[in-house]
C-alpha cells in the first residue's frame, strides 16, 4: 500500500509544472551575497596593528574575550590591497575573489588550502608566505 502511494506521489511530481523547467537553466546567473566581498565598515586603522606591508597589507585586530574563551583576547586578521582603502577579513575565499583573474588565483589555489595557511611565516624570506608568493608573481 505504501509503495502504491509513493508511486502515485512520484508520478504526480514528475508530471507537474513545479519541477525545474528547462528554461530555468538558461537563466542569467545573479551573484549572491556569498560571491561578493564585504569590506569592514568604517575601519579605524589605529585599532589595527600592521603585521606586514607587502603585496597585501596584513593587519591584526585584538578584542577582549568573553566567558567562552576564558577572557583571552580574540585575534582576527584582516588585509587590504596596496592602493586600496578597503579592509577585508583575511580568508582564502576573499583573496580568491580579489585575485580571481590571473596567475595569483592559481597560487592561492595550490599553496593555501585553509585560512590558517595564510598566516604561515617564511623565516627564510622573512615575510608571510602569502606576501612572498604574491610579490614573486608580480615580477
Q: What is the pTM of this model?
A: 0.67
Rounded to whole angstroms, the Cα distance separating 116 from 90 reads 9
Rounded to whole angstroms, the Cα distance separating 90 from 114 reads 11
pLDDT in tens, 52-99: 999 999 999 999 988 888 889 999 999 998 877 888 999 999 999 988
pLDDT in tens, 22-61: 444 444 444 444 455 666 765 666 788 999 999 999 999 9
Rounded to whole angstroms, the Cα distance separating 74 from 50 reads 16
pLDDT on residue 74: 92
Question: Which of residues 28 and 4 earns the better pLDDT score?
Answer: 4
80, 43, 77, 38: which is closest to 61 by C-alpha? 77
pLDDT on residue 23: 45
Report the SS3 class of residue 105: helix
Judge whether 95 and 118 are in contact, CB under 8 Å.
yes
Question: Which of residues 104 and 83 earns the better pLDDT score?
Answer: 104
Domain boundary assignment for the chain: 31-138
Confidence of residue 1 (pLDDT cuts 50, 70, 90): confident
pLDDT on residue 114: 92
Rounded to whole angstroms, the Cα distance separating 76 from 113 reads 18
Q: Which helix (H) or strand (E) holds 128?
A: strand 127-128
Judge whether 101 and 137 are in contact, CB under 8 Å.
no
Three cell numbers written together for 18: 513545479
Amino acid at each position: 500500500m505504501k509503495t502504491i502511494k509513493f508511486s502515485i506521489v512520484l508520478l504526480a511530481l514528475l508530471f507537474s509544472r513545479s519541477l525545474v523547467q528547462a528554461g530555468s537553466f538558461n537563466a542569467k546567473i545573479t551573484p549572491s551575497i556569498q560571491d561578493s566581498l564585504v569590506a569592514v565598515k568604517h575601519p579605524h586603522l589605529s585599532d589595527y596593528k600592521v603585521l606586514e606591508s607587502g603585496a597585501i597589507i596584513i593587519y591584526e585586530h585584538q578584542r577582549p574575550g568573553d566567558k567562552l574563551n576564558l577572557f583571552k583576547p580574540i585575534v582576527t586578521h584582516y588585509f587590504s590591497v596596496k592602493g586600496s582603502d578597503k579592509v577585508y577579513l583575511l580568508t582564502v575565499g576573499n583573496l580568491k575573489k580579489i585575485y580571481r583573474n590571473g596567475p595569483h588565483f592559481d597560487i592561492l589555489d595550490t599553496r593555501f588550502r585553509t585560512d590558517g595557511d595564510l598566516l604561515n611565516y617564511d623565516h627564510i624570506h622573512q615575510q608571510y608566505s602569502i606576501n612572498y608568493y604574491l610579490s614573486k608573481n608580480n615580477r
